[in-house]
Amino acid sequence: MDTKLNIDLENFRLETRAWLEVNCPASMRKPIKDSSEMFWGGRNPEFTSQDQKIWFENMLEKKWIVPYWEKKYGGGGLSAEENIILTQEMSRLGCRRPLFSFGIAMLGPALLKFATEEQKLNYLPEIVEGKIWWCQGYSEPGAGSDLAGLQTKAEDMGEYYLINGSKVWTTYANKADWMFCLVRTDNKVSKHNGISFILIDMSTKGVSVRPIKLISGKSPFCETFFENVRVPKSNLVGNLNEGWTIAKYLLSHERKMIGGVGVTETKKEVHELAKLNLECSSGQLNNSLLRADIAKFEMDETIFELTIQRIIDEDKSGKKASQLSSFFKYYGTELNIKREELLIQIGGNNSLVWTPTEENDGNAARKFCRSKGNTIEGGTSEIQLNIIAKRILNLPT
């Protein structure tokens, strides 16, 4: 490798490290306890602490909210190598993400690939600045696993599209400012070929939202209803009736996220929690059956992480791995469910507490309940296995 480049990168690392040391407040270097500690931005931004605000504003000024997007879209224009260094240095210090956003992780990649230049310049900088909170309108009451069966329709009225229908499982629809949405624009062709990808301002007349409460007692999910909602035609992304291509592209991003790829949060190992909660003799858990379950789980957890690493490394060396997103989604979520089951067992009485008290916040039981959704949202485990069987193993249909 070029020596000068190496020196430049090393300088970049040192500068980055020094900058983060100065500009990331200490409380922003602690792991996030629950979703209330995440900053999502939006038209009515809610900072839960002064440090959170300082951290966001510092990163915004430094253009490091989305460091790897081009500068003209509000990004930091960092090279792939520089971005890796920034990520490494942030995780070294334990820095929180300054902004949580479906705009960055899900809409952004779609706009970059499919939108017009005008749309990119219009929407991307607002995502970076945290001015607009985006939500995703995909699933419908009648179109969950069979997403392409969606029925919310957008009629061409000449100057605008007229939208009628409803969406379900829209995360934070009650707080979001805009929605990227899949709508039916042609019902005479096969179901995959009549779908379009459109952007909707949630403050438009005719849009209403109702939150959904989950078995965990809380939820970021909502139902969203559209009654004669008028959307400008310029809000269409990509070609008319080619929305399914965009949706598939985004779903593979989403699956990687849910499957845990790229999540740097470090969890306490299950056996450590077990040793804190259960009896041991000479350093060994007395409950040998539970001990075996933990050993088996940690084996798979470690090897799954290695597999993510291997596939990322193969990807970098030019081998196409994108078709493995179903594998990541399936295995990652199944593991998470197993983890929560183990934690409930390990905690005993303590992990069953539901109503918060001073000693017990009741989060264990709620997290356990919430985890049951992991193997359903973003395409059920069964759908992922179907995809693997058909697209990777080429089994007959």
Least separation, in Å, of the C-beta of 201 and another protein? 41
* Nearest to another protein of 193, 277 (CB atom): 277
Site for another protein in 320-359 (CB under 8 A): 324, 327, 330-331
Residue 390 identity (one-letter amino acid):
K
For residue 343, the minimal CB distance to another protein (Å) is 15
* Residue 321 phi, psi dihedral angles, 5° rounding: -120, 0
Nearer to another protein by Cβ, of 190 and 282: the residue is 282
Question: 3-state DSSP call for residue 155?
Answer: strand
Q: Is 285 in the site for another protein (CB under 8 A)?
A: yes
Question: Which backbone phi and psi does 264 adopt, to 5 degrees?
Answer: -100, -5
In sequence order, which residues have a C-beta less than 8 Å from that of residue 297 and are 6 or more positions away? Answer: 270, 335, 338, 339, 342
Q: Which is nearer to another protein, 271 or 367 (CB)?
A: 271
Residue 298 CB, shortest distance to another protein, in Å, is 8
The answer to whether the beta carbons of residues 202 and 173 sit under 8 Å apart is: yes
Is 64 within 8 Å of 86 (Cβ atoms)?
A: yes
Distances in Å between the Cα of 226 and the Cα atoms of 80, 181, 207 are: 41, 11, 5
- Compare residues 190 and 288 and give the one whose CB is closer to another protein: 288
Helix 80-93 to helix 3-23 angle, to the nearest 10 degrees?
40
Helix, strand and coil content of the chain, in percent to the nearest 5, comes to 50, 15, 35
Please pick, from the candidates 20, 78, 274, 364, the single residue that binds another protein as defined by CB under 8 A: 274
CB atoms within 10 A of CB 342: 20
Whether 383 and 145 have beta carbons less than 8 Å apart is answered as yes
Nearer to another protein, 71 or 316 (CB): 316
Closest CB to another protein among residues 38, 388: 388
To the nearest whole angstrom, how small is the minimum distance from the Cβ of residue 284 to another protein?
A: 7
Which of 84, 112, 121, 303 is the binder for another protein (CB under 8 A)? 303
Dist CA 109 CA 115 (whole Å): 10
Q: Is 309 in the site for another protein (CB under 8 A)?
A: yes
Residue 147 near residue 58, CB atoms below 8 Å: no
Among 121, 215, 295, 352, binds another protein (CB under 8 A): 295
Which of 7, 121, 215, 392 is close enough to bind another protein by CB under 8 A? 392
**Residue 158 interacting with another protein (CB under 8 A):** no
User: How many residues lie near another protein (CB under 8 A)?
Assistant: 45
Return the number of the residue (112 or 295) whose C-beta is nearest another protein: 295
Summarize as ranges the residues that interact with another protein (CB under 8 A): 269, 271, 274-275, 280, 283-285, 291-292, 294-296, 298-300, 302-304, 306-307, 309-311, 313-314, 316-317, 324, 327, 330-331, 382, 384-386, 388-390, 392-397
